[in-house]
Structure 1
Amino acid sequence: MSDHSASVRHVRAVLLSHRYDPGDELVWVGGTIRSWDAALVEVELADGTRGIGEAGAGIMAATAVPGILDAFRPYLLDVPFASPLDVGDHLRAYTAFWSRGGILSGVAGAIETAVLDAVALREGVPAYEVLGGAARERIEAYASGGLGTTFEEVAGWAASQFDAGFGTVKFRAMSDPDTTIELLDHVVGGLPSGARFIIDAVQACASSPWAPEDAIRVGRHAAALGARWYEEPCQADDVAGFAQVRRAVDVPISGVESNGTVREFAELIARDAVDIVQPDVTFVGGPRAFSRVAALASEASIDCVPHVWGSGVTFAANLHTVLAEPSVELFEYCTLPNPLRDALQVAPVDFAGGSIGAPTAPGLGVRLTEDIERRFAFRPGGGHVIR
């Protein structure tokens, strides 16, 4: 019988950045991404084993994480846990006056993920084995990216993803609905036969949400072109808007990647607001919280597809979690250039034939070294800033 118990004796926040060279920044209608930031959490167990987790919102708000971790520390150190999956619930129970959602939930989930990584490393098994074992050896992956300020940039990226072996691509909307409709025509018209696409409205669209009737127009056009789904056509908290759009369009509606609680996903499902839920282990509160969302979706006969947009730690945390979830059959693979993501991974991603294979390295298959901390030293003032 495997021993999954753990006690944390030390925890620290590790902020990292990959700063793009001038001219290589990621530019899209929401702004310019000058660096890819990461807010990691490293734990050390009582036996000296170390593990790593990530707070997903650190790509935008890395500097918030160290203080939050300090606030969690009194409720974490030297507490005996029977399983890594007990960590997030414990932290939420003892901090319920101030940590109910948002980036706070992401940090609690990062701690849970780090303990999972450490326990799996101690046992010499991939993290999904601690989560109950892999439900499949491979999982379908779709290419996610599609940034750009011109139709040609987005279309060129999409074409390159199909050349790389993906069967589905997801690209982002333009700032206004009419230009987004034109973008859809341009990109979809150039896709190869049999190719599938997803349009991400980015909370319709980011900081200045479209009116519901405009979101519906875009959704109907995406449906007519055969979209696999239509993502986040409303601002994240506008559950009524999601439900309104869903009733009016004949294409699956998905959301909400930034939700920080199981409760928020339960509300989306209860109000018939989505066809696909998109939790992220690094936002929703850790692997156990993700599994609860997946179970709610399965009970409601809707799909669960993870949001995955961060460093190699976010990638690994979501991959190991979904490999252990029988009801999850699709994985988001961000293909934008990110040397920090690649440096943190022990081995290259096993991508072939449009799918990702289950990793075999112990733990999450990630590493944090002194060299990585030096090469990717955190530089404030960058990150994913929406303007």
Structure 2
Amino acid sequence: MSDLSATVRNVRAVLLSHRYDRGDELVWVGGTIRSWDAALVEVELADGTRGIGEAGAGIMAATAVPGIVEAFRPYLVDVAFGSPLDVADHLRAYTAFWSRGGILSGVAGAIETAVLDAVAKREGVPAYEILGGAKRRRIEAYASGGLGTTFDEVAGWAAEQFATGFETVKFRAMSDPDTTIDLLDHVVAGLPEGGRFIIDAVQACASSPWSVEDAIRVGRHAAGLGARWYEEPCQADDVAGFARVRASVDVPVSGVESNGTVREFAELVAAAGVDIVQPDVTFVGGPRAFSRVAAIACEASVDCVPHVWGSAVTFAANLHTVFAEPSVELFEFCTLPNPLRDALRVEPVDFVDGTIGAPSAPGLGVQLTADIEQRFAFRPGGGHVIR
């Protein structure tokens, strides 16, 4: 194996935004997404190599990230790491009084990802090689998006995804359970033969959660229509609710994308709350933390499917991680329009017949240039704000 050691000389937070033109905003029952924000972290190693990571929660809380990066700085700069995968554990160990979970864990993971990106670039290999090598050459992907305030908007989006080559689509619930049941009937009736669907209840549903009884009712209806799975039927911390729903419906239950620690996933699995865990490298604390969740799930015969929603950095961090994970066989592919996401890529996504091929560019295959920082300069007041 090549030299995986790394010493960080500098670290900085980089906030970016793609502000949608008036009339092009992403509108759904949870509110209006006026801009797609990204909270990136750039590290520079002692040899001058640079790498990029992302804190996934930055799509909603970008302005929280720079201060956290600065708080981590004393525990990072000039520390000699034997491997990029030691970084987030080191940060968590030295800041355990204040950084256990949430966006803090996401920022620690972003720093670990950035160091991984830098080391892989320095060695001239894709990041998954540093993570142990690709366990497959292609992985199935499902289309994720399904925003809209009308049934026809959601159904139209789904039809576009199947026409592009996806075999499974995921769309979001409406604000109340009865309208969500009607949405399911409308969308599923228009699916092509063999087309599969996932219903995401968005913590049932976002800021005003349904009762467990209503979540069960929606889940039973989704099961009757043949849902591939039923996502986040309860608020993230309601482990008991997840267990009740799972015991009451005949459809796989999944969660929780925003969990910021391995422990939270372990508790959810131990409570028999899910059939599918959905860690995100940019939320759970980096590639090593993701792998720990995948291992816990595999031992419990629970599937692992990553949550992937941010910029190209989030996409790449999760993609490289799952290519190195033998137990992960499915990948979330957000297809909503986002020019910032596309600008950060150095190579197009190899999407063919519903699958994604292993990237070939060194590192994560992402770039952060002065031009990108200027074109997508951060504009406060936008992002994913739940209303």
TM class by shorter-chain length?
A: over 0.9
* CA deviations over 1:205-250 (Å, ceiling 9, x no partner): 0000000100000000000000000000000000000000000000
**Which segments of 5 or more consecutive residues in structure 1 lack a partner in the other structure?**
none
Q: Secondary structure at the match of 1:244?
A: helix
1:12 aligned residue:
12
Deviation at 1:273, TM superposition (A): 0.3
1:25 aligned residue:
25
Structure 1 vs Structure 2 CA RMSD = 0.3
Q: Which amino acid aligns with 2:305?
A: V
Q: Which amino acid aligns with 1:231?
A: E
Distance (Å, rounded) in 1 between the aligned partners of 2:208 and 2:23: 27
Q: Secondary structure at the match of 2:268?
A: helix
Q: How does 1:162-311 map to 2 (within 5 A)?
A: 162-311=162-311
Question: TM-score, normalised to structure 2's length?
Answer: 1.00
How many residues of Structure 1 are paired with residues of Structure 2 in the alignment?
387
Deviation at 1:270, TM superposition (A): 0.4
Q: Which amino acid aligns with 1:222?
A: A
Distance (Å, rounded) in 2 between the aligned partners of 1:121 and 1:29: 41
2:94 aligned residue:
94
Deviation at 1:351, TM superposition (A): 0.2
* CA deviations over 1:122-141 (Å, ceiling 9, x no partner): 00000000000000000000
Q: Which amino acid aligns with 2:383?
A: G
Amino-acid identity (%) = 87
Distance (Å, rounded) in 1 between the aligned partners of 2:259 and 2:271: 16
* CA deviations over 1:176-214 (Å, ceiling 9, x no partner): 000000000000000000000000000000000000100
Deviation at 1:172, TM superposition (A): 0.1
Distance (Å, rounded) in 1 between the aligned partners of 2:51 and 2:11: 10
Distance (Å, rounded) in 2 between the aligned partners of 1:337 and 1:227: 25
Q: Which amino acid aligns with 2:248?
A: A
Q: Which amino acid aligns with 1:17?
A: S
Distance (Å, rounded) in 2 between the aligned partners of 1:58 and 1:284: 13
Asked if 1:65 corresponds to 2:92, the answer is no
* CA deviations over 1:129-165 (Å, ceiling 9, x no partner): 0000000000000000000000000000000000000
Distance (Å, rounded) in 1 between the aligned partners of 2:35 and 2:358: 29
Deviation at 1:81, TM superposition (A): 0.3
Distance (Å, rounded) in 2 between the aligned partners of 1:82 and 1:348: 32
Distance (Å, rounded) in 2 between the aligned partners of 1:46 and 1:156: 50
Distance (Å, rounded) in 1 between the aligned partners of 2:353 and 2:81: 40
Q: Secondary structure at the match of 1:16?
A: strand
Question: TM-score, normalised to structure 1's length?
Answer: 1.00
Distance (Å, rounded) in 2 between the aligned partners of 1:331 and 1:212: 28
Distance (Å, rounded) in 1 between the aligned partners of 2:7 and 2:126: 20
* CA deviations over 1:89-142 (Å, ceiling 9, x no partner): 000000000000000000000000000000000000000000000000000000
Q: How does 1:291-370 map to 2 (within 5 A)?
A: 291-370=291-370
Deviation at 1:292, TM superposition (A): 0.1
Q: Secondary structure at the match of 1:7?
A: strand
2:79 aligned residue:
79
* CA deviations over 1:247-280 (Å, ceiling 9, x no partner): 0000000000000000000000000000000000
Q: Which amino acid aligns with 2:378?
A: F
1:34 aligned residue:
34
Asked if 1:137 corresponds to 2:137, the answer is yes
Deviation at 1:41, TM superposition (A): 0.2
Distance (Å, rounded) in 2 between the aligned partners of 1:348 and 1:9: 31
1:147 aligned residue:
147
Q: Which amino acid aligns with 1:190?
A: G
Q: Secondary structure at the match of 2:10?
A: strand
Q: Secondary structure at the match of 2:53?
A: strand
Deviation at 1:46, TM superposition (A): 0.3
Distance (Å, rounded) in 2 between the aligned partners of 1:57 and 1:107: 9
1:54 aligned residue:
54
Q: Secondary structure at the match of 1:257?
A: coil
* CA deviations over 1:318-359 (Å, ceiling 9, x no partner): 000000000000000000000000000001100001000000
After the TM superposition, which parts of structure 1 deviate over 4 Å for at least 4 consecutive aligned residues? Answer: none
Q: Which amino acid aligns with 1:243?
A: A
Distance (Å, rounded) in 2 between the aligned partners of 1:246 and 1:301: 15
2:161 aligned residue:
161
Distance (Å, rounded) in 1 between the aligned partners of 2:295 and 2:245: 24
Deviation at 1:54, TM superposition (A): 0.1
Q: Secondary structure at the match of 2:6?
A: coil
